[in-house]
Each structure stands twice: as C-alpha cells, then as structure tokens.
Structure 1
Amino acid sequence: MNINNNCFNLDVDAVITSYNQGTMILEAVQSLCNQTVLPKRIIIVDDGTTDTYSIEILNAIGNDSELSVPVKMVFQENKGVSAARNTGINQAQSSLVLILDGDDKLEAKFIENVGRLLYDNPQMVIASSWMRTFGVLDAIIRPTGGNIVSFLSHNCCPATHILRRKFYEQCGGYDESMRSGFEDWDFFLSMLETTPEALAGIVEKPLINYRTASASTNIKSMNKRLELMRYIIEKHNNSYRDNITNVLLDIEAISNSRLFGWENEIIHSIKNNQELSDSANDFIKNPSYGDGGMASAVRIVSISK
C-alpha cells in the first residue's frame, strides 16, 4: 500500500537507465510503482538500445496509462551509462533523484527508508542501502557509506542511490568520459567534495536487489582497475593528498583482510585433508614479501605440520 499521504513530505523523481535489457526493465519499473512512498515521476533514459524486442518493451511501458507513477521516455544515441544518468537527472524536477539501473529492482520500502535518512540528515548528499544480489551470486552486500575519507580507498555506496540534486549540480554530474566502470565511485567522490560536512548514508537493510552476471560491466572493470584508479586519484588529487595517511592505512587494512581470508581458506583445506589448488601451493612455495605474505605462509605451513 502506498503511504505517501501519511508519510513525511518527500520530493523525489526516479531515473532508470536502459540498454538492451528486454523484460528486466519491467521489474525495475514495477519495483518503483510498488514503493510505499512513490516517486513523483519515473524518467527512463534508453542509451541507444539496438534490440528490437527491448525497444518494444520500452514503448509499451511509455504507453501504459495504468502505472501508478507517470513515466517519461527519453531515447538517445549510445553514450554510456554516465551520460544516460546525466540526461535523466537533468530532466528531473524534484530536489531528490533516485538512480536505478534497468536490470536491478528495489524492495518496497527503499524510498521510504532511504528518503527518511536524507530527510533527517541534511548533511547527507547521497544515501542508499545494503544490497541483496541474485543471478550468479546470492549474497548480502553491506556497504558502509561515510565521508570523503571513507571513499578514497574504495567505493562505499551502491550505484542505486538517492542524491540531492543541488549537490549534483555543484559537482558537475557523472564523468561521461568514464565508460569502463568505476563511474559511480568517481561521482560519489565528486559529491562528497562539494562540502566538508558531506556524508553518504546507508540504511542497514538489503533494500536493493542487484542482478549479477559474469559478463557485466562491474566484472569487466576489474581488468582495468589500476588504470581506472590512476584516473580517479589524479582527478581527485587534492583529496588524496590531504588524506594520504588514512588512505594508505585503509588500503592496508583491506589487503590484510583479503590475505587473512585466503590464509584461512588454505588452512581449512589442510585441516580437512583437501588437495590445495595450484595457486595455493604456489603461494606457499613463493610467498610475497613485504606485504604480510611470508608471515601468512609460515602460519599455513605451521598448521600443516
């Protein structure tokens, strides 16, 4: 049931980006129409879809007068997701804008819960929630949000979020030159640089259903991670320079966490007399030096004797 009239006043539009997504976008639209607090309007920006069936689906959505939220369709040539989001946000009229990819969907209380967080915390320039993944991976993802320092070592907010439009306008929007991934991380850094008090808020409930596929852009972007990180560091150089100690410590903490996870998996296999993978054996025989790798190998071998 929609409770717009019984809830705090929330001025929000929703932007969905689409590219060759077939019927998946129907689920995204329906998840917005099922919100307990409805958006004022839904703006779907199609980024040059080439699939005829997907175009038919989009046209059907645009012509559906029975949807609980008015939908505006925008078709543009393929320019990438950053350009599509900028187009949608620039079409929005509300002070808050929800960003949603066309292959994902929301739990019914996403706008209510995330909107409440923004309503109660004016220093928050963006807000989102935990995610439940489906498809290839079935998991709960728990991003932390935070201030600019939190975001310098890694992204701490899902791509699906609600933003304050005035800060979007201040930071200049999404970087349309970034078409290989990490555009969300870069955008959040830009948003958090608009004011010293800026925060990204997170509702600690899985209110986003995030579709995972082996060929998705976020997987492909990992192959270009170092190249993309260099671009981000150079672009946000002042923030990195001013917080270099915290950045290095955060990166070391992340590295240690992954190393300990890898170590525990190997120890578990040894204790259960399971055959180790070639990469695990290679790690034990040729551990890395200066990053805790050698100490980890010593602990692993000690367990096996």
Structure 2
Amino acid sequence: MRQSVAVVVSSYNQGSMIREAVESVLGQTRAADELLVVDDGSTDEGSLHELADLERDGIRVLRQHNSGVSAARNAGIRSVAADLVAVLDGDDRFRPGFLRATVAALEDDDVVASSSWLTMTGVASGVVGPTGGSVTEFLARNSCPAPSVFRRRLWEAVGGYAEDMREGFEDWDFFLRLLTPGGRIHVVAEPLIEYRTQPGSANLEGMTRRLRLYGDIIDRHRGVFEAHARSALLAQEAISIDRLARWEQLVSADRSLELGEATFGDGGMAAQVRIAAARNHSSS
C-alpha cells in the first residue's frame, strides 16, 4: 500500500532561501502529498515578504513565535496527517530524487528513518557520506543528516524533537530515541541533499560547544551508552586515530608546518616519530 508523505520545511529569517527549499520539494520525482512551511518567528522583511508570496502561491504556512527548530518541526508534524514525514531546513534543498529514494527505503520495516549523502554548497564544497546504521553507530557521532524521512507514528511514540535543545544536536538526540528500541537508519549512498554552508550557521555554532553538548547527549541516553560502552569508546578511538593519521600525512608532506608539542598516551609521540622519520627519508 502506498504510504503518504508530508514535507515540513522549517524557516527562521532565511529570506529567498526558503523559496529555493520549497521549490526543491515541488520538483521531486515522487511528489509529496502535503507540504507545510513553518515560520519560527521570522523578523526580517525579506523573509516575511517571501513567506507572504509563498502563501499567495498556495503554499501552506504555519507561523509561531520564535521557539527553536525542534518546536517548529514538532508544530509542523502535528499539523500534517501523512504516514511519513520529511523535514527540511529552510536554507537547504532536496535534489529531485530524494523522496523517491528515501521513501522506498522505508518499505523495510526495520528502517526507522532514511536520508542520503549530501553535497555542501556555499563557502565549502564537496560530498559528505554519513553511514546511518543501528544505535551503536550513533554513539560516537551523529550518522544521519537532519533532512530525513521517518514514520509519523514513531515520531509520536518517542515524543518528537526535544524542544529544550536549542543549542544544537537535537537531530542526534531524536535519532538515538528512534533507534534505542531497535532498527536502523538507512542512508542512500547518493548526494540527494544540498546542504548550505555559511559562517555563523546554527550547525557551526553548535560545533563550538560540541564537548558540552555531547555530554548532554550522553546524559539523556545514559542507558544505551552504558549498554554499549565498549562500542562507543572504540568508535571514539577510531575517529581519533583517523584524524591523527590525516594530520600525520599532511605534516609529513609539508616540512614548513610546525609539529607543536608531542602529546603523551594518545599516539601523539608515535606520530611525531613517524613524521620525523618520513621527513628525514625524503631529504636523504
């Protein structure tokens, strides 16, 4: 049986970008059954003008006082009736095949949500490929982009997005709650999301507070972290090893780069020894 899908686009002071987001939904090869824009209390004239134009074009717009992206998404999801819900931030875009590919993934009952790889646009460029997976893949890092599709009944069962999380990582928290009972998140290995990068964005600001916010994630999901402590710690160590190896490769190739002080007990000393050996070898 064909499942209906609604797209909820949340926006706050995003001007003409909100129309780009909406047009990306209207251009899907698998049409959405419902489309709702939630304005989270925009104040700038450009955004207000754009939202009014969208309404004149027949797009449904729900307005609320500024309460954060979680509250905006929840308000939008409560206002639609479809079986599946896709969320999209007002400064991002779906490529035409996004809904077709992600909705198809949800035909598997074991899949609790689906998304795709993404292409960065704006100040940075490139393709990023999150892995998705079960709850253990989400303990060391968030492994799914915020634009995603999930079953409305599961959103309701886990209590929606946490509206008290206004500093970031609300998506990570939501995905962990979806996954804790079981199942997995499927990520389509194709860049079907256009993710806009810009200085001062909410996501970048959240990363400056990563350690504190990650601590909050652990506190909110203490049971699953305790149950899978070994997996979480090994995943963190794997991330550290990978980043150290990338730094080592870069510095080994460029003698003008300063090494800085060697760190102890985390592989830092061994890395500096390998760098020194590589530099000596290249100069001999």
Q: Distance in 2 between matches of 1:82 and 1:248?
A: 29
- Is contact 1:41–1:72 with CA below 8 Å preserved after alignment? no
- 2:246 equivalent in structure 1: 261
Provide, for residues 215-240 of structure 1, a one-character-per-residue CA deviation record: whole Å limited to 9, x for no partner. Answer: 11111111111110111101100000
Provide, for residues 176-224 of structure 1, a one-character-per-residue CA deviation record: whole Å limited to 9, x for no partner. Answer: 111111111111001112x22x210011000000000011111111111
Give TM-score, length-normalised by structure 2: 0.97
How far did 1:151 drift?
A: 0.3
Partner of 1:253: helix, strand, or coil?
A: helix
Q: 1:228-247 to 2 correspondence within 5 Å?
A: 228-247=213-232
Q: Distance in 2 between matches of 1:108 and 1:223?
A: 33
Q: 1:102-181 to 2 correspondence within 5 Å?
A: 102-119=90-107, 121-181=108-168
How far did 1:157 drift?
A: 0.2
- 1:94 equivalent in structure 2: 82
How far did 1:62 drift?
A: 1.1
- 2:44 equivalent in structure 1: 51
Partner of 1:206: helix, strand, or coil?
A: strand
Q: Distance in 2 between matches of 1:202 and 1:222?
A: 22
- Is contact 2:251–2:259 with CA below 8 Å preserved after alignment? no
- 2:259 equivalent in structure 1: 281
1:9 aligns with 2:2: yes
Q: Which residue of the other structure, out of 276, 283, 299, is the alignment partner of 2:274?
A: 299
Runs of 4+ in structure 1 deviating by more than 4 angstroms, as ranges, are none
How far did 1:123 drift?
A: 1.2
Number of residue pairs aligned between Structure 1 and Structure 2? 280
| Structure 1, unpaired ranges of 5+ | 1-7, 66-70
How far did 1:10 drift?
A: 3.4
Give TM-score, length-normalised by structure 1: 0.90
Q: Distance in 2 between matches of 1:180 and 1:256?
A: 28
| Structure 2, unpaired ranges of 5+ | none
- Is contact 2:259–2:272 with CA below 8 Å preserved after alignment? no
Q: Distance in 2 between matches of 1:295 and 1:181?
A: 35
